[in-house]
Amino acid sequence: MFNRILLLGGSGQLGQVLQPLLKDFSAQTDLQLFVPTRQVLDLNNTDAISDYIAQHKPDLIINAAAMTQVDDAETNPALADAINHRAVAVLAYAAKQQKAAFLQLSTDQVFDGSRSTPLLETDPPNPINAYGRSKWAGEQALVAAYAGTDLLWWILRTSWLYGEQGPRWLQHIDSNASVVTDQIGAPTSALWLAHIIVQIIQDAKTQPMESGIYHATMAGQTSKFDQAQRHLMQRHLIQQGQQPKLKPIKTEDFKQAVAKRPLYTVLNSDKLAKALNLTIPQWTEATDIHFMQLALNQAKIAEANGEVPVGAVVVAADGKTVLAQAHNAPITANDPTAHAEISALRQAATTTNNYRLDGCTLYVTLEPCTMCVGALVHARIAKVVFAASEPKAGSLQSQRQLMNEDLSGYYNHRFVWQGGVLAHAAALQLRTFFKARRQT
């Protein structure tokens, strides 16, 4: 449906992971992608915005650009309003003139934090800081510009967004820092959100998601304090088994903050889940998304080699060390057993100098077949995470449920499994591959 996509904010946390996904998508669909830098398009220059839109004629604008530093926005509210509100108004008007669709990123900070249950899209915003006010004004500007038209527009509100290195505010934290305990929200992986955006674009070809405001956060909730503890443990910044010595503090006693922070901003994303027919993962499952993306990258290598695009990754028992990355290679290796899972198991066994991979997790982009399930059992894999189901030969969920069937005494090891992680992206890879095959 979209042939010319303009992405603003390409250097931000979301833009950095969204760009490569959109480039892959554009290669599969022959669309053009424009990602101007600040030097090319200054959002504080309204004339430049209108000129750029008129010149490049996008049919979809994704606006991930924003002034997001809450304290900086409080000390410079005019600049925050210029970027987060007035620029959006100009973008929306120019986009409407081009009959373009618009996807705007927004924030949980539009709420005042007075609730104690997850917030719905219908709950009235009441921002308590300059950043929240500017983002709420930007939302209103977009809604007003597109009112009375049949053009598609979406506002995705997210919260506590973080990239591959974790939340920015935690990247330089030490284990003795003071962290607030009464700010509650849902940490959201930028990579997960990027895949959501790609799915919205893909679905627009056949069944566009209805225009409107959607909450787009991962499931569950936590406090800033507990998030910091988990971050330190995962990054091994303290000795294993030793609890961080973070100092709990209330928001009202945290004097370093310039702007007020809402205390409770957990967003209910059920509307998005229903619209896209997906299950929202828990925020604690973000590492699964990261490792599945590595497997998807391996699947791209298989596709480039003329193989069915399936990739696999083996992660050590520590939950962070990648032991192997592999992809399908039966054709190029002249080996009927060279499925991605088998090749990854062989690599991991070589890396560890042990064919038993106790405690390890295998990530694979397609539900394993019977042969691969047998190898996974023999390797003593602890967990398997797959993306897309395999209706013809899948042996965990689809054709057979080998780890669930009552085969007492037959297997001397069983592993747990989980399906559906980045399933849409893996299925798109496979559909594109086989469509190209049918056309040659």
Do residues 276 and 200 lie in contact, with contact meaning Cβ atoms separated by under 8 Å?
Answer: yes
- To the query of whether residue 74 is one of the catalytic residues in this protein, the response is no
Q: How far apart are CA 137 and CA 83, in angstroms?
A: 11
Helix or strand or coil: residue 214? strand
Helix or strand or coil: residue 387? strand
Beta strands in 137-293 (DSSP E): 153-158, 161-162, 178-180, 184-185, 188-189, 212-215, 222-223, 247-249
User: Distance of CA 325 to CAs 198, 222, 294, 353, 430, Å?
Assistant: 24, 32, 8, 16, 19
User: Which of 341, 367, 390, 405 does the annotation list as catalytic?
Assistant: 341
Beta strands in 64-194 (DSSP E): 101-107, 153-158, 161-162, 178-180, 184-185, 188-189
Cα-Cα-Cα-Cα torsion 188, 178, 233, 215, nearest 10 degrees, comes to -10
Alpha-carbon radius of gyration of the chain: 23
Q: Alpha helices, DSSP H only, in 110-203?
A: 130-146, 190-203
Amino acid letter, residue 438: R
Do residues 298 and 325 lie in contact, with contact meaning Cβ atoms separated by under 8 Å?
Answer: yes
Q: How far apart are CA 41 and CA 266, in angstroms?
A: 34
Q: How far apart are CA 54 and CA 80, in angstroms?
A: 25
Closest CA to 179 of 230, 112, 117: 230
Catalytic annotation, residues: 341
